[in-house]
């Protein structure tokens, strides 16, 4: 458990944040004080109510990378130590103040946001550009649910719709169906009219069915590559399925959508046979505000509700990180930050 420190005094130029100064186990994350951000004329000051500990935070903190990515990971996150001391890629909160040029938001607005590789959401306050990845919170979601909209939702939306071209009636297989991205993908794909099969462990079968999956495969009992089915899209979120393994399960012109894959896949070296019509897509998602707006619309319509694994107090973030480290979380691990307000 993190050591508690004295609260930041009202009017202080400091704020509480979760910081880490070296790579390692969950215990490297500490509750400390950092400079409170200042707001520009086109920016919004957000009082953070909730955030998440995602797979992106786990990799940045632990520096555990897929084979072949170790050196690149250290170059990106910091060769001699973490370049960004405050993690957190998504948040929900309340607008506290706006810059003089801001017109889209006003104080009191409830919002959610995605900072991605900029991180910085594990803090009491976050300043973001008005025209950044920041939109109004769906009225029917709690702050904890809204904080978990972006990471899994944007990845699913980008891979399925933008890169994969998922259409009504397509057959989709989701590998890692109970994770943050997989659980979002099932719901979003169903909203788009696809027929969805989820691959998960025995303990998560009923959960994945409850998300709307038409079919569920227990990978401990059945190999999806041997069931005789063919899919228009296979979404790979676990790093366990190469094209060679999936090729026979893809329909003509089928696509393997690789969220987490091998070094060769990331470099575009894993190519289907010429003339097969099949594709491997492993590009990084290009997220924009329209993605968040569509996620909000899907949530308000009841089509997408982020799956919450557990909710942890801000001061107990090490427990949240430890839960992610197990590799067995179901959906999203959430930090409740709002209680840290002074």
Written as one string, the DSSP assignment of 154-221 is HHHHIIIIIIT---TT-EEEEETTTBHHHHHHHHHHHHTT-EEEEEE-GGGHHHHHHTT-SEEEETTT
The structure's pTM equals: 0.91
Q: Are residues 32 and 145 in the same domain?
A: yes
- Asked whether residue 258 is domain-assigned, the answer is yes
| H-run or E-run covering 326 | none
Which residues, 6+ apart, have CB-to-CB distance to 271 below 8 Å? 243, 280
- Asked whether residue 1 is domain-assigned, the answer is no
Q: Are residues 19 and 145 in the same domain?
A: yes
Please name which of 250, 293, 296 lies closest in space to residue 273, comparing C-alpha atoms. 250
Q: Are residues 186 and 241 in the same domain?
A: yes
- Asked whether residue 262 is domain-assigned, the answer is yes
Q: Are residues 194 and 165 in the same domain?
A: yes
Q: How far apart are CA 177 and CA 170, in angstroms?
A: 17
Across the strands, what pairs with 128? 44
| H-run or E-run covering 278 | none
As for how many domains the chain has, the answer is 2
Q: What is the CATH number of the domain that holds 95?
A: 3.90.180.10
Q: Which domain holds residue 332?
A: 14-149+306-340
- Asked whether residue 7 is domain-assigned, the answer is no
Q: How far apart are CA 205 and CA 237, in angstroms?
A: 17
Q: Are residues 20 and 144 in the same domain?
A: yes
* pLDDT score for 342: 39
Backbone angle region of 212, left / alpha / beta, with phi > 0 → left and psi within -120 to 50 → alpha: left
* pLDDT score for 12: 72
Q: How far apart are CA 299 and CA 305, in angstroms?
A: 6
Q: Are residues 239 and 276 in the same domain?
A: yes
Q: How far apart are CA 236 and CA 257, in angstroms?
A: 6
Q: What is the CA radius of gyration of the chain?
A: 20
Q: How far apart are CA 127 and CA 43, in angstroms?
A: 7
Q: Are residues 188 and 249 in the same domain?
A: yes
Q: Are residues 24 and 105 in the same domain?
A: yes
- Asked whether residue 6 is domain-assigned, the answer is no
- Asked whether residue 322 is domain-assigned, the answer is yes
* pLDDT score for 5: 38
Q: How far apart are CA 123 and CA 86, in angstroms?
A: 7
- Asked whether residue 101 is domain-assigned, the answer is yes
CB 1 within 8 A of CB 316: yes
Q: How far apart are CA 98 and CA 262, in angstroms?
A: 43
The count of residues in the chain is: 342
pLDDT tens profile 308-342: 999 999 999 999 999 999 999 999 999 999 853 43
Q: Are residues 168 and 260 in the same domain?
A: yes
Q: What is the CATH number of the domain that holds 251?
A: 3.40.50.720
- Asked whether residue 68 is domain-assigned, the answer is yes
Q: How far apart are CA 129 and CA 102, in angstroms?
A: 9
Q: Are residues 266 and 166 in the same domain?
A: yes
Q: How does DSSP assign 95-111, residue by residue?
A: EEEE-TT--S--TT-EE
Q: Are residues 166 and 193 in the same domain?
A: yes
* pLDDT score for 171: 98
CB 280 within 8 A of CB 265: yes
* Maximum Cα–Cα distance across the chain: 66
What residue ranges of the chain have pLDDT lower than 70?
Answer: 1-11, 67-68, 261-270, 273, 339-342
In the block, residue with structure tokens 């997408």? 304
Q: Please state whether beta strands 215-218 and 231-236 pair in parallel, antiparallel, or not at all (unpaired).
A: unpaired
* pLDDT score for 73: 80
Q: Are residues 166 and 214 in the same domain?
A: yes
């Amino acid at each position: 458990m993190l050591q508690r420190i004295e609260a930041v005094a009202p009017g202080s130029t400091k704020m509480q944040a979760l910081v880490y100064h070296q790579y390692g186990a969950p215990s490297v994350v500490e509750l400390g004080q950092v400079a409170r951000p200042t707001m520009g004329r086109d920016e919004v000051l957000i009082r953070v109510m909730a955030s998440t500990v995602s797979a992106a935070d786990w990799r940045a903190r632990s520096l555990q990378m897929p084979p072949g990515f170790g050196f690149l990971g250290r170059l990106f996150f910091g060769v001699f130590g973490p370049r960004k001391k405050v993690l957190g890629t998504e948040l929900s909160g309340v607008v506290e103040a706006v810059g003089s040029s801001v017109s889209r938001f006003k104080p009191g607005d409830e919002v959610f946001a995605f900072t991605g590789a900029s991180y910085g959401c594990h803090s009491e306050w976050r300043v973001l550009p008005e025209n950044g990845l920041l939109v109004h919170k769906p009225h029917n979601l709690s702050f904890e649910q809204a904080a978990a909209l972006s990471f899994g939702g944007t990845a699913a939306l980008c891979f399925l719709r933008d890169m994969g071209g998922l259409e009504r009636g397509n057959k989709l297989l989701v590998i890692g169906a109970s994770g943050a991205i997989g659980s979002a993908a099932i719901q979003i794909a169903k909203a788009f009219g696809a027929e969805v099969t989820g691959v998960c462990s025995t303990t998560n079968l009923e959960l994945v069915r409850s998300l709307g999956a038409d079919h569920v495969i227990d990978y401990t009992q059945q190999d999806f590559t041997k069931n005789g089915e063919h899919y228009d899209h296979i979404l790979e979120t676990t790093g366990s399925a190469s094209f060679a393994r999936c090729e026979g399960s893809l329909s003509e012109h089928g696509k393997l959508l690789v969220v987490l894959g091998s070094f060769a896949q990331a470099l575009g070296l894993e190519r289907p046979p010429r003339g097969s019509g099949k594709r491997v897509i492993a590009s990084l998602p290009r997220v924009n505000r329209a993605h968040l707006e569509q996620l909000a619309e899907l949530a308000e319509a009841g089509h997408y509700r982020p799956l919450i694994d557990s909710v942890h107090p801000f001061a107990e973030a090490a427990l949240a990180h430890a839960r992610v480290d197990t590799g067995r979380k179901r959906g999203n691990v959430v930090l409740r930050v709002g209680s840290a307000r002074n």
